[in-house]
Structure 1
Amino acid sequence: MGRWAIACFMERTDLRQKFISAHGWTMAAITALPVDASRRCYFRLAMPDGRTCLLMDAPPHAEEKFREYHLIANALCNAGLSAPEIYASDFDNGFALIEDFGEDTFTRLLNNGHGTRELYLLAVDAIAQMQQRIPSDFGGVGEYTHEILMDEVLRLIDWYYPLWHGARASADLRAEFAGIMDNILRQLPPLKNVLVLRDFHVDNLMLLPGRHGAAQAGLLDFQDGARGNPAYDVLSLLEDARRDLDPIVMAEAWQRYAAQINYDKHDLALSYNILGLQRHGRITGQFIRLWIRDDKPQYLKFMPRVTAQLTAKLQAPVAAPLRTWCEKHLPMINEKWPDRPAIELKKILLN
């Protein structure tokens, strides 16, 4: 259990136990589940009779979008997809009892030799069905706006640049980078917004073999969903910072998705490349932020892959201005950074 999970477990024990007891799970054994980059905690409750469920603990002060989780879960289920059923909720304190999908994440299955092609084609089917059946004006969530995309990609220069240079970027250099990214993002084709879950990758997908069609993909961790460009979730799935994907499977999955939705294929491909620059740049900076600010160094193992993905996206024609900027100011983007101690970086980045 991580440091945040331990604190979460200890600080809210009484509230948690009252909620569990009020809904008939007093006798359940409680096991903390591994934490991710968020500040939510999950616990598996197991009753003596074999019944299980998950307890979501989303402290209100942590801004974990508890209400959005409920809205999106209902929308996904109404679209014939599989989000965990919500059995009980306490909105004031941020607790929910939700359906336990078990242990078969796509990640675990892939690590155990399960067919890659089958899982990725199932995943893109789920994305296509979500985009087809959930209205583009779906309420209750915000829009993944240009301003948010810009704010996120600035993490590259704010957190990754100092790793190489031992100092923050100057205000002028930061403004130059921001101007380049602003121009690139404004070239996103005006495709109709859809619900995007934003963290659509194999860690957040589970195989539910007792269900049919796209509902066999259990969907998790979607509280940050927003209305945005339809290419975003496909990009998140196929160019995952956590694992490599066979290019043949990647191409087939992309073609299968594109065949199911009614968008101009050139516009989709351009969106995919632009959002790839944004996402890989954001994640490159975010993994450093998780290490330095949140004391979560475990994400550093993914850095070689995500910087390689960013380098690949820099080769797209639309990325030419950013490629030129990186060649001048961050030419080592796909190399191992200098061995700077975390304590040195904390002084640079947290003061």
Structure 2
Amino acid sequence: MNGQTVIILDLPGEAETMRLGEDLALALKVGDCLALSGDLGAGKSTLARALLRALADDDDLEVPSPTFTLVQSYDLRIPVAHFDLYRLGDASELDELGFDEALSNGICIVEWPEIAEDLLPDSRITLKLEHRGSGRVATITAPEERMKRIRRVLAIRDALTGWGYAGARRRYLTGDASVRAYETLRTADGRDFILMDWPRQPEGPPVLDGKPYPKVAHIAEDAYPFVAIAGYLREIGLAAPQVFNADYEQGILVIEDLGREGVLDESGRPIADRYRESVACLAFLHGHQVSQDIPVTDAHVHHIPDFDPTAMKMEARLLLDWHLPWKRGAQPSEEERQDYLAIWDGLIRELEGSERNLLLRDFHSPNIIWRPHESGVHRIGIIDFQDAMIGPTAYDLAAIVQDARADVPATLAEQMMVDYVTLRRSLSSPSSPFDEPAFLKAFSIMAAQRNCKLAGLWVRLKERDGKPGYMKHMPRTLRYLAAALRHEALAPLRDWCHKAGIDLPES
């Protein structure tokens, strides 16, 4: 097979074989075929069992040998079909076992792949185990696209070992709409951490003035901003993760585990008290004036970018570039485009003089941890802030009051607004009063800007990135946009949306 690359690993004992299986569980994706070869007793079943238990996050998962059944299926985080072809009568019987369907829906682990080698995909990952002394050696061969993922999980393991976490138990925690992924770490002595996996990405195509989207919209591209903002939040008394280890070049961080409890109930509905506490936390944050330059290391100072007009318009353009073509099946006319951008020029001018300070950018339910055993603002754990900017503070309030991932009841949203304004008034001084009318106008403009961005982002995630699941948020986003457009300052945008045929709920 052409384009194959090879990795050779020493596995001194069974523990290392199991650990390789566990690490591979973090690398494999839907459509991967892992072909396990080696003599009897070489460790194929040991590795496969560790991989399956890691995917299940269940160390006691029953993993019977498929020697006699030929295939054993598992409904896990990623569905897995475990094949043992040792007793396969004829290679052609592989189709009858449902191999193609299993591969299209999940992962296939194949022991004794030599028996049906010609029928396995050329893109398979081949892992050969051979005895070497009292241990084993593993030879992994795969196309570069898949080997890149394997090298990544092995590089993370090497980094953890170098930081003193040798043998730590790694399990998948979550991914998000970005390039970051998260794992849980448990050390041999029972300490728990979170690993942030944030590989550097190649620079994308230019979208404005020769710059790619992340640079125009000020999206963090490495871990320095996260470490800087985490340190600042902790310094002023908020609960953000402590960063224990960071490899900025590779994008690997070990951070504090703030917990798993969120602000939604089991049905995905907001828990009112927790949302109100989140707003109190936000008011506390906005009552502290941040320095725009934060030292991170002896050689690096993070300059918090401004949420400038270019970035605001670039995000709002997602409605033009993605939502409208999806909705109508055709690109907007040049006149529509120019009118829309001119409206945003005017709305951004309306923000002049509004309060500006640190805004976290994504302060909503997925990024808030509830810490019931803490008190005050420490009950709110903040975990996503690497894209923080200096801009209208109203943006963050809009992000939580109009939570993109949950339906916030109108009565709760109104109470949150009252809570925030009341707290900001109490924290202000005669020399620096809280301008409520200006803030409420900025709130509506920022809510409209955020929801225009999201209405396009959900479509982009579906059509460009193959993540259609985010489209379930579209009806909520359009309801929030309609609510924001009720402010008199938003009348031009409301009229434009009506003419463009964007389906907004009636006010």
Q: Same fold (TM over 0.5)?
A: yes
Q: Which has the higher Rg, Structure 1 or Structure 2?
A: 2
Contact 1:20 1:26 in 2 (8 A): yes
Which deviates more, 7-16 or 205-214?
7-16
Instruction: Tell me if 1:40 matches 2:180.
Output: yes
2:240: which partner in 1?
83
**Per-residue Cα deviation, 1:263-303 (whole angstroms, up to 9, x for no partner):** 21101110111111111111000110111111111101111
1:135: which partner in 2?
290
Letter in 1 for 2:231: N
Distance 1:113 1:300, change over 3 A: closer
**Which of the residues 397, 401, 404 maps onto 1:238?**
401
Q: In proportion to residue count, which structure has more strand?
A: 2
Instruction: Tell me if 1:205 matches 2:376.
Output: no
Which deviates more, 309-318 or 147-156?
309-318
**Which of the residues 131, 152, 170 maps onto 1:12?**
152
Give how far 1:10 is off: 2.6
**Per-residue Cα deviation, 1:126-159 (whole angstroms, up to 9, x for no partner):** 1111122342645521011111111100100110
Letter in 2 for 1:29: R
Give how far 1:14 is off: 2.4
Instruction: Tell me if 1:195 matches 2:358.
Output: yes
**Which of the residues 43, 60, 66 maps onto 2:223?**
66
Give how far 1:306 is off: 0.4
Provide the rounded CA distance (Å) in 2 between the counterparts of 1:257 and 1:164: 36
Report runs of 4+ in structure 1 exceeding 4 Å deviation. 1-9, 112-115, 136-139
Letter in 1 for 2:457: Q
Provide the rounded CA distance (Å) in 1 between the counterparts of 2:241 and 2:149: 22
Q: How many residues align?
A: 333
Letter in 2 for 1:15: A
Indicate the percent of aligned positions where both proteins have the same amino acid: 30
**Which of the residues 436, 454, 468 maps onto 1:265?**
436
Give how far 1:31 is off: 0.7
Provide the rounded CA distance (Å) in 2 between the counterparts of 1:234 and 1:10: 41
Give how far 1:189 is off: 4.4
Contact 2:364 2:404 in 1 (8 A): no
Provide the rounded CA distance (Å) in 1 between the counterparts of 2:456 and 2:268: 32
Give how far 1:57 is off: 1.1
Provide the rounded CA distance (Å) in 2 between the counterparts of 1:288 and 1:145: 24
Letter in 2 for 1:100: D
- Between the two structures, name the one with larger relative contact order (CA 8 Å, sep ≥ 6): 1
Distance 1:209 1:305, change over 3 A: same
Contact 2:268 2:406 in 1 (8 A): no
Distance 1:38 1:295, change over 3 A: same
TM norm structure 1? 0.88
Letter in 2 for 1:271: A
Distance 1:151 1:313, change over 3 A: same
Give how far 1:314 is off: 2.2
2:449: which partner in 1?
278
Distance 1:169 1:178, change over 3 A: same
Q: In proportion to residue count, which structure has more helix?
A: 1
Instruction: Tell me if 1:255 matches 2:418.
Output: yes
Structure 2: runs of 5+ lacking an equivalent = 1-25, 31-76, 79-145, 203-219, 295-302, 429-433
2:497: which partner in 1?
326
1:98: which partner in 2?
255
1:349: which partner in 2?
none
**Per-residue Cα deviation, 1:322-344 (whole angstroms, up to 9, x for no partner):** 22222222243459xxxxxxxxx
1:159: which partner in 2?
322
**Which of the residues 303, 309, 312 maps onto 1:146?**
309
2:467: which partner in 1?
296
Distance 1:295 1:129, change over 3 A: same
2:162: which partner in 1?
22
Contact 1:209 1:216 in 2 (8 A): yes
Specify the SS of the correspondent of 1:295: coil
Instruction: Tell me if 1:124 matches 2:279.
Output: yes
Contact 1:65 1:224 in 2 (8 A): no
Give how far 1:114 is off: 9.1
Letter in 2 for 1:97: V
Root mean square deviation, CA, Å: 2.4
1:287: which partner in 2?
458
Provide the rounded CA distance (Å) in 1 between the counterparts of 2:460 and 2:307: 21
Specify the SS of the correspondent of 1:172: helix
**Per-residue Cα deviation, 1:30-65 (whole angstroms, up to 9, x for no partner):** 111221111011111112332111111111226533
**Which of the residues 165, 178, 189 maps onto 2:341?**
178
Which deviates more, 325-334 or 284-293?
325-334
Specify the SS of the correspondent of 1:154: helix
TM norm structure 2? 0.62
Instruction: Tell me if 1:222 matches 2:385.
Output: yes
Give how far 1:244 is off: 1.2
